[in-house]
Amino acid sequence: MAAPPRCGCRPRLRLLRDSKHPHLDHLAFRAGEWDAFLAATRHGAL
């Protein structure tokens, strides 16, 4: 199993996956959370 990225976005991704919302709403993110989400997409985690 690959090591999680060091940026700390993995826990936020778990929250996104467990979310009841079918679509990601960027308005629901605070700035730091959105930055972590974008970093996670660069990791290929989504």
Closest to 37 measured CA to CA, from 21, 3, 5, 2:
5
Domain range for residue 37?
Answer: 10-43
- Average confidence (pLDDT) per 10 residues, the chain, 46 residues: 52 57 54 73 64
pLDDT at 11: 56
pLDDT at 21: 53
Asked whether residue 2 is domain-assigned, the answer is: no
pLDDT at 33: 73
Provide the 10 A C-beta neighbour count for residue 9: 22
pLDDT at 45: 55
Residue found by looking up tokens 């996956």 in the block: 17
Structurally, the chain folds into a number of domains equal to: 1
- Could you give the 3-state DSSP secondary structure of residue 29? coil
